[in-house]
Amino acid sequence: MANVAVGDLVIRKSHGGDIVFKVTNIYEDNTGQSHCTLKGMHLRLVADAPLSDLERVGAEHLRNEILHMESVHNDTLKRVLMRRSMEREKVNNIRAEHAKKYEYFEMPGRVLHLDGDEEYLAMCLKTYNQMNIDAVGRCIEESKQPEHVIALVDEYRPDILILTGHDALLGGGKKDFKDINNYRNSRYFIESVRKARIFEPSKDDLVIFAGACQSYFEAILIAGANFASAPTRIFIHAYDPVFIAEKVAFTPINRTVDIGDAITASVTGADGVGGIETRGKFRLGLPKTPY
């Protein structure tokens, strides 16, 4: 049996070690067999596995996983900032006729990010900061998010609301993708979206991304989200919600977000995230004061 403890990084032997997980809980089932609850190291996935199926991650494997994760993050961030630079040139042309008289200031959309995973939230908040997005984050368990979402939206009045954490399809064999009971946390994302829409019904005044790995994409959109995961029920990356939020935050208010560009800006692409036409949240203002 594997010598595994809570907090260890492990792989599942039965899955060929395809995903690195952190052990968050160890428990015994009705037969006395030890099982572990696992969360993905960089994928928004929660899974359960027999303790005997787990193997602790070696130093070299972990090093490669971290390097891969950093490479994905840095490449996506670089692509986003390059795209933003090109868009800024277009905006500067609009400013040119008033440049001698006024200096503009910029107001990207503000983000409220509720995440069921404290480590992921810290990673996301760091990335918002790197992209100059004003973001507030709260670590709230997925099942508790519906209880808190209205009060937090009322308190912070964000332009963009992110509801995420972990999710997964449950059970083995052929799954009914339209049965909400087959999803670990999708019901909570759906309920949170519905409650947020009670507070702000307009999809342009409050832009919502909701979901995690393998989430019930269609039901989340029907509940009122602008963007959601996961159209083909694949695993999504920890940073996917952040890069969707960035595209919305920096698309001008008088334009709709290019859905194709928004999805391309994510890590997993159209298999992992999707959405509907949505107006951007970026505003220019003038004059810029010296204070």
For the chain, domain boundaries: 8-60, 94-285
Domain 94-285 belongs to what topology?
A: Rossmann fold (3.40.50)
Say how far apart CA 123 and CA 203 lie, in whole Å. Answer: 27
Give the residue-averaged pLDDT of 42-57.
86
**DSSP strand E in 63-118: where?**
105-107, 111-115
List the one residue out of 24, 92, 99 whose CA is nearest residue 54: 24
Report the range out of 10-14, 33-37, 98-102, 208-212 with the highest average pLDDT. Answer: 208-212
The model's pTM is 0.83
Residue 116 near residue 142, CB atoms below 8 Å: yes
If you average pLDDT over every residue of the chain, what do you get? 88
More confident residue, 148 or 106: 148
Say how far apart CA 262 and CA 179 lie, in whole Å. Answer: 28
Tokens of 57: 């991650």
Cα dist from 206 to 58, 110, 124, 128, 158, whole Å? 44, 10, 20, 18, 7
